[in-house]
């Protein structure tokens, strides 16, 4: 019986170890799948860029992204190989324990069979029972013989179970070894791809280093366009805030006028209060109207906030080629650019979609930034610029992932770039937020 209990404990321990190991392995495989998807997206964009004879800074950023993603994938492969090696060691230890246990069980079973053989007698069982001093003792002896037979049968089943477990663990080790070899081959391919990407990166880098004067002029022009875009977006949001405030004041005045008229009518038809003065009861109608609007806005804001880190991308496929805030120029030393949002390289003329339900408040046309769409989500605003065509207008209600326009294409470019921003309105102040923290990864 002790052997049976030990087997149950060993099986429980092995089961928990396997479950933990599987969870880590699945997490690494999920991460591998995510990185491979990013690499494929970036590779697709780079393949399209190759058709263009004019190399762009955007292509250099895509190459940088490709190298980064491949290096992350190689690290992922390293972790999976280490995990496979640990599994092989664990399985080897488990097999050794099972084999030792199996040898012990066989010895015990052998001893029982030898004893049974030496004391074989067709009358032996009956004589053992009939030799009892009382009826109760005879019952106990009968139960004892049944338990011995039951133990022998269990011992036999445990031995078979151990043999099955050993066979299974050996098969598992072989699978882990094959998986490890496969991962090592994929790692080798990725390292070769990284070297090719780095060689191309160096070639593009040298080309741009020879055109620093042209790049600086282009950079200054781009920064001017960014500043114009920033001012236009802020102006549109402030205009929207002012219009909402004017509407609130107008509604409040109308509500007060209506309440005053109602009070005057009541006073003229009824009994005046003591002292001959007319008492005007403060109305809560205006507060109720304002509260209803604020409540809806707050609910949408809360829903938007609740999806932080889970919002879909504004394009179906793409790669972030310039992040939020301060960014180092890819070729010019000690030169930085500032970004109020993120720039996402996407396929040519890609569809742009709303990242969350809301209402379009502005559709602008800005030279150098194409068309711009601003969508309201309670106290939040999402901004989509660099659009060639728009499918919405001010006042349009949109749903999550609804197409709102298509991207602009620069002359000679094989890809498009979506500029995406998120703003939060607090009172009359507008704060830029980092979109990378809001969209899913």
Q: What is the reported pLDDT for 23?
A: 72
Q: How far is CA 258 from the centre of its chain?
A: 53
Q: What is the reported pLDDT for 342?
A: 94
Average pLDDT, whole number, for the chain?
76
Q: Where are the domains of the chain?
A: 2-209, 295-437
Read off the pLDDT of residues 106-158 as tens digits, 9 standing for 90 and up.
787 677 667 666 655 555 666 666 667 787 877 887 787 777 777 767 777 77
**Cα separation, 433 vs 358, whole angstroms:** 18
351 vs 173: which has the higher pLDDT: 351
Residues written for the chain: 441
Read off the pLDDT of residues 393-418 as tens digits, 9 standing for 90 and up.
999 999 999 999 999 987 667 788 99
SS3 at position 142: helix
pLDDT class of 216 with cuts at 50, 70, 90? confident
**Cα separation, 51 vs 376, whole angstroms:** 39
Q: What would be the CATH architecture of the domain defined by 295-437?
A: Distorted Sandwich (2.70)
Residues in a beta bridge with 353: 403
Q: Give pTM, 2 decimals.
A: 0.57
Question: What average pLDDT does the segment 335-345 reach?
Answer: 88
Q: What is the reported pLDDT for 124?
A: 61
Q: CA 50, 54, 59, 60: dihedral to nearest 10 degrees?
A: 120
Model confidence at 224: pLDDT above 90: no
Read off the pLDDT of residues 74-87 as tens digits, 9 standing for 90 and up.
888 787 777 777 77
What percent of the chain is modeled with pLDDT above 90?
A: 19
Tell me 437's DSSP state: G
> Distances in Å between the alpha carbon of 228 and those of 67, 178, 212, 222, 323?
33, 58, 24, 10, 19
Q: Give 167-172's long-range contacts (Cβ < 8 A, gap of 24+).
A: 169/91, 169/94, 169/95, 169/98, 170/95, 172/87, 172/91
Q: What is the reported pLDDT for 278?
A: 42
Read off the pLDDT of residues 157-170 as tens digits, 9 standing for 90 and up.
777 776 777 777 77
Beta-carbon neighbour count of residue 124 at 10 Å?
A: 12
Q: Which two tokens stand for residue 235?
A: 């102006």
Which contiguous run of DSSP H or E holds residue 79? helix 57-118
Q: How far is CA 329 from the centre of its chain?
A: 28
Read off the pLDDT of residues 277-307 as tens digits, 9 standing for 90 and up.
444 444 444 333 332 345 667 777 888 999 9
pLDDT class of 351 with cuts at 50, 70, 90? very high
């Amino acid at each position: 019986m002790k052997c049976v209990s030990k087997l149950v404990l060993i099986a429980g321990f092995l089961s928990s170890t396997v479950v933990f190991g599987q969870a880590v392995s699945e997490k690494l495989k999920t991460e591998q799948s995510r990185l491979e998807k990013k690499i494929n997206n970036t590779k697709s964009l780079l393949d399209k860029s190759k058709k263009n004879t004019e190399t762009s800074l955007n292509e250099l950023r895509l190459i940088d992204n490709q190298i980064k993603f491949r290096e992350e994938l190689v690290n992922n492969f390293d972790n999976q190989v280490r995990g496979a090696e640990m599994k092989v060691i664990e399985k080897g230890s488990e097999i050794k324990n099972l084999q030792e246990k199996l040898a012990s069980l066989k010895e015990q079973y052998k001893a029982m069979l030898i004893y049974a053989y030496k004391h074989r007698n067709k009358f032996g069982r009956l004589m053992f029972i009939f030799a009892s001093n009382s009826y109760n003792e005879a019952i106990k002896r009968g139960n004892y013989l049944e338990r011995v037979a039951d133990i022998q049968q269990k011992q036999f089943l445990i031995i078979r179970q151990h043999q099955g477990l050993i066979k299974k663990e050996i098969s598992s080790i072989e699978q882990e070894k094959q998986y490890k070899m496969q991962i090592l081959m994929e790692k080798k391919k990725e390292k070769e791809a990284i070297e090719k990407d780095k060689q191309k990166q160096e070639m593009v880098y040298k080309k741009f280093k020879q055109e620093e004067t042209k790049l600086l002029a282009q950079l200054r022009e781009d920064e001017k366009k960014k500043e114009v875009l920033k001012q236009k977006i802020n102006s549109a949001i402030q205009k929207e805030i002012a219009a909402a405030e004017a509407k609130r004041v107008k509604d409040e005045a109308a509500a007060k006028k209506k309440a005053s008229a109602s009070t005057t009518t009541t006073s003229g038809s009824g009994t005046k209060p003591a002292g001959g003065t007319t008492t005007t009861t403060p109305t809560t109608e205006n507060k109720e109207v304002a509260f209803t609007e604020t409540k809806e806005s707050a609910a949408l804001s809360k829903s938007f906030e609740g999806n932080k880190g889970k919002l879909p991308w504004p394009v179906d496929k793409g790669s972030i080629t310039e992040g939020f805030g301060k960014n180092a120029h890819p070729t010019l030393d000690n030169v930085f650019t500032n970004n109020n949002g993120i720039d996402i390289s996407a396929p040519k003329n890609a569809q742009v979609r709303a990242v969350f339900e809301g209402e379009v408040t502005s559709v602008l046309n800005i030279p150098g930034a194409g068309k711009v769409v601003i969508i309201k989500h309670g106290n939040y605003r999402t901004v989509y610029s660099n659009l060639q065509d728009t499918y919405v207008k001010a006042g349009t209600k949109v749903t999550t992932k609804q197409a709102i326009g298509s991207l602009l294409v620069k002359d000679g470019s094989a890809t498009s770039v979506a500029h995406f921003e998120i703003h939060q309105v607090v009172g009359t102040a507008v704060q830029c937020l980092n979109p990378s923290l809001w969209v899913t990864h």
